[in-house]
A and B are shown apart, each in its own frame.
Chain A
Amino acid sequence: MSDKFEVVGTSERKVDGLALITGRPVFAGDLDLPHTLHLALLASPHAHARIRRIDAGGAARLPGVALVLTHENTPSLRFTTAGQGYPEPSPYDARMFDSKVRFVGDRVAVVAAESPRLAREALSLIAVDYEVLPAALSLDAALAPGAPVIHDEADAEGIWDAPHNLAAALDVAVGDTPAAFAECVAVVETTCETQYAQHAPLETHVCQSYLDDNGRLVLYTSTQVPFHLRRIVARILDLPIHRIRVVKPRIGGGFGVKQEVLLEDVCALVTMRTGRPARWEYTRSEEFVSARTRHPFRIRVKVGAREDGVLHAIEMDAIQNTGAYGTHSLTVLSNAGSKTLPLYNKAPHLRFTGRSVYTNLPVGGAYRGYGGTQASFPLETALDRLAERLGLDPVELRRRNHIGSGETSPIFAEMGEGREGVPMIIKSCAIPECLNAGMEAFGWAHKRARPRDTGPVRRGVGMSLHMQGSGIPLIDMGAATIKMNDDGSFHLLIGATDLGTGSDTILGQIAAEVLGVRLEQIVVYSSDTDFTPFDTGAYASSTTYVTGKAVERAAREVEEQIRRVAAVMLQTEAGAVQLGDGRVIAPDGRSVTLAEVCTRAYYGADQFQIGATASCVPEESPPPFMASFAEVAVDVETGQVRVLDYVAAVDCGTPINPRMAEGQVEGAVANGIGYALTEEYLFTPGGKVRNADLSRYKIPRTLDLPPIRVILVDSYEPTGPMGAKSIAEIGINGPAPSIANAIYHATGVRLARTPFTPERVWRALREAGIG
């Protein structure tokens, strides 16, 4: 379908690529303002404690210290740090600084000083008298009767059941699962656990704040959500929204962790109190501990099928560890169901129950995959077991059960983002093509049929099937402004937030496509609340689908204006002319250039600015789909698992920029392989992270990665911009279940806990009497 496009569907270079690779100072931390105050964080050494007394006098008196902020001299209202649509579905359970700390790494105080070193030095002069409280350092401890109550404050809002440490809870039932299981020939039940994981963006959180010439507050910051951030900071500081400008320059990766207000409220307060610029940058260890993480889950899945191999009932019970605060608790919990269950819509009986549990551990947040990743692991390994029970190839089981075009799932209507969802009929679904192309490229039939190896190193193959969404229907909004210049070029202004994902480029491609110009004729400017229209931000796989549609609409309006001007110039009808190659062409072949059109609009007759602003609030969230295939070699004596080959066949609708789309999948799969094999937080008995750095927390390196082969299958989503859906998250869901299923194929041993480290695999093998 994409061959009907000129600019869309081609692998254009990133519009910001040259600046990035030549090392231009384009990041938030690169801003170098005179008289800047540097901030440093005093983090809680206790997992749970009340601050009896805090004496910041010594620190404040240190020459060079401008300000020490604690709970005694800062706003006390409660909010959520989660940068979500308003009203946020996350509880208001956090304060800028609190008199109680709830995990090792929680904010106690911040010092603002003339240099980073002075600021850190001053931290040691703050005397804090803690009343240490019993801590709940696991799901079970937090759920036990008599467990310490983590949010006992009276002024929190939106907590489901604070006395029982429940941030959120869900119960969705369709049909009657208990009765349905009784009607099945095969039923499989499994419980899996997933771990704390880090986004590990190259750039840690960094924010700089200053007052502009008119005394307005400017926040120059590494964020995925400039407009939510502006709103949240305005509320905390009790400032009118229009007194704040948020600018997101280039970002060194986010993956969800920057969908959060972690530094900006404090930077803003320092600048407001002192009138001076302030700079705060998390160290790598702070990024691990005091930023956000992937929520760990314990999920029980039960699946049952009838004789024909068609699923009859699915139950999923998800217990989520949200850590000390409930950021994204409800929404990640609901996505565990809503981004997995609709895939198998042949099952008429569904039940999803979930609880989000506070613990005295680091805080969960948004992380690529957003619950779908955690739930794919139990669901897709349960289906692998079920296929075996039914004597079916795992691919065949998926074939008999996956959703298809023209179909729906009751889950779409039942489960939304913290509220009811939006019903939807699937309009594009190339799952059959994904399965076929993936199997073929991978050599599934051949590799699956190989007799099991018997030596110390055993190969195996596994697969899994996935979906995600494209934005949040009826909640997300993206807007775009396009204005024309008198050389025939255009400015595209978007609130959307390019985190290194390439969204500036693909949004430019969409505009260029409609306006019949090359990408170089589009000047893209994004993510500045003073100059770009509103956008909810970069999350929920929304930018291509939602903002892309807004760009397409704005471009169509501008196209209309151009036609009207050109038609007058060409003395013909607006409906008769065509845009292309930077010209407007009449049916008889006469043409005017776009430069001539805009020059006339600027200086000639009937002058006006050619330009338009358009918005998109999506009415549905068409899922991208992915079939994932992994081949592993398991050393059954040492437990080491090597991924030998990986194929991801993806239906993302039209890939606006194929090479960048492949890059998103490659990155997500690599990210997922780390999550599956090596990445996990380790804790001391007191709840302190033991491996809060990139030398002890192991993300995969090139040598750890197999060839990752990405296939973008042909697909066209009629509701999307030029047929596009989304691609940023889905890739991360595949590795854990595909690798677990491959390990089973290689060894006959099922792993129920990520990551599959050598030691964990070795123990599982030994329990099974292997190795």
Chain B
Amino acid sequence: MQILRPRSLDEALDALAAHPGATLLAGGTDLMVQVNYQGRRPEVVVALRRVPELLQMEDGFVGAGVTWSRLTSAPWPGLAQAARTVGSPQIRAMGTLGGNLGTASPAGDGLPFLAAVGAGVEVASRAGGRRTLAWDQFLVGPKRNSLQPGELILGVRLPTDLPQRQEFAKVGARNAMVISIASACLVRFADGAVRIALGSVGPTPLRAPRAEAMISADKHPSPAAAAEFGRLVAEEVRPIDDHRSTAAYRRHAAGVIARRLLERALA
């Protein structure tokens, strides 16, 4: 196994251009599980931790290499709250937002925030240069993204006009080190517009457009409206059965946390 350790974005792109099939390594909290337990044997690894460009977090940009530990004090409450629920202190110290996008698990806890705010994913390669993909162009299926060979994730670009009303929650079998049974992130703008995205209840994070439209039209939602919002969200999600939960429970839990997040945002 060959391990390349670029010290700049240029070196990283060169390394990838020379080895288009290389495997990228950030914190390794997903990748090393595959290596250790699923027999994955990458031939060439490009380790990204020394690439300073990926560590930036400013002006609506979050570098792919920013760890969950750093994100717990990020200026975006929805992302910070999500970061606090990821794994354990050790996992948060190593795991990155870029890795979450790279893995593209439906349960990735950073992803509902990106979907709720409509983030763009910036990617780059030697051959193709830089491009920005909308989150839903990037996340295309369970554990599938649209990264091309030779490309790496630079980071995410967030809209500049985000409101402070951002809330994240997840339901799991215990309080830490738990993969979500359902998760959600909700943002509410001053004009009453609401965006909600849910994790673990579909192949990728999902928005709930009907629920959003219904509640966004309501400047002062009543408890009944909030309940209706939750009901619509539960209708719109597309969960499956697995060892963590049944689809029925996931659908129900998605509705409950959607309503609660709205209530929190209204409080």
Contact = CB atoms under 8 A, between A and B. Distances in A.
Chain A complexes with chain B:
yes
A305 B37 CA distance: 56
Interface stretch (A134-142, A419-427, A694-702, A718-726): A694-702
Interface in A632-660: 637-640, 642
Contacts of A637: 256
B178 interface: yes
Given A638-B256, A682-B243, A701 B174 contact: yes
B146 interface: no
Contacts of A642: 175
B253 A703 contact: no
Contact of B175 (A639, A704, A759): A704
A762 B88 CA distance: 27
Contact of B174 (A638, A682, A693, A698): A698
A672 B143 CA distance: 36
A638 B176 contact: no
A759 B246 contact: yes
A762 B249 contact: yes
Interface in B134-185: 171, 173-179, 181
A424 to B, nearest CB: 41
B243 A696 contact: yes
A758 interface: yes
A691 interface: yes
B252 interface: yes
B243 A704 contact: no
Given A691-B243, A696-B243, A762 B252 contact: yes
Nearest to B172: A758
B193 to A, nearest CB: 26
Nearest to B230: A637
Contacts of B176: 701-704
B8 interface: no
B103 interface: no
Contacts of B245: 759
Contacts of B179: 695
A759 B88 CA distance: 24
B35 to A, nearest CB: 14
Nearest to A760: B249
Q: How large is the interface on B (under 10, 10 to 19, 20 to 34, 35 or more residues)?
A: 20 to 34
Nearest to B253: A638
A697 to B, nearest CB: 10
Given A758-B181, A759-B249, A701 B256 contact: no
A156 to B, nearest CB: 35
B141 to A, nearest CB: 22
A701 B243 contact: no
B171 A640 contact: yes
A700 B252 CA distance: 25
Contacts of B252: 762
A700 B174 contact: yes
A704 B174 contact: yes
B175 A701 contact: yes
A757 B256 contact: no
B210 to A, nearest CB: 21
Q: How large is the interface on A (under 10, 10 to 19, 20 to 34, 35 or more residues)?
A: 20 to 34
A738 B252 CA distance: 28
Contact of B177 (A638, A701, A758): A701
Contacts of A763: 249
Contacts of A695: 177, 179
Nearest to B259: A637
B263 to A, nearest CB: 10
Nearest to A682: B243
A690 interface: yes
A638 B175 CA distance: 14
A637 B32 CA distance: 37
Given A696-B243, A759-B245, A759-B246, A678 B174 contact: yes
Contacts of B257: 638
Interface string B72-101: 000000000000000010000000000000
Nearest to B33: A695
Contacts of A682: 243
Contact of B178 (A690, A698, A759, A762): A698
Contacts of B178: 698
Interface in A499-515: none
A118 to B, nearest CB: 16
B246 to A, nearest CB: 7
B249 A758 contact: yes
A637 B171 CA distance: 11
Interface in A658-704: 677-678, 682, 690-691, 693, 695-696, 698, 700-704
Contacts of A698: 173-174, 178
A640 B172 CA distance: 9
B87 to A, nearest CB: 10
A759 B181 CA distance: 10
B264 to A, nearest CB: 13
A642 B176 CA distance: 13
Nearest to A637: B256
Contacts of A757: 173
A196 to B, nearest CB: 14
Contacts of A759: 181, 245-246, 249
Nearest to B246: A759
B173 A758 contact: yes
A690 B245 CA distance: 13
Nearest to A284: B37
B171 A703 contact: no
Interface string B179-201: 10100000000000000000000
A507 B179 CA distance: 44
Nearest to A674: B174
Contacts of B175: 642, 701, 703-704
B248 to A, nearest CB: 9
A756 to B, nearest CB: 11
A699 to B, nearest CB: 9
Contacts of B88: 701
Contacts of B174: 677-678, 698, 700-701, 703-704
Interface in A700-745: 700-704
B260 to A, nearest CB: 8
Interface string B124-141: 000000000000000000
Nearest to A635: B256
B74 to A, nearest CB: 22
Contacts of B253: 638, 758, 762
Interface in B230-267: 243-246, 249, 252-253, 256-257
A700 B181 CA distance: 17
A303 B171 CA distance: 38
B186 to A, nearest CB: 16
A642 B171 CA distance: 13
A691 B173 CA distance: 14
Nearest to A694: B177
Nearest to A755: B173
Going nearest first, the 3 A-B pairs with the smallest beta carbon separation are: A703-B175, A759-B249, A703-B176
5 contacts: A677-B174, A695-B177, A701-B174, A758-B171, A763-B249
Given A695-B179, A696-B243, A759-B181, 9 more contacts: A638-B256, A638-B257, A640-B171, A677-B174, A700-B174, A702-B176, A703-B174, A703-B176, A758-B253
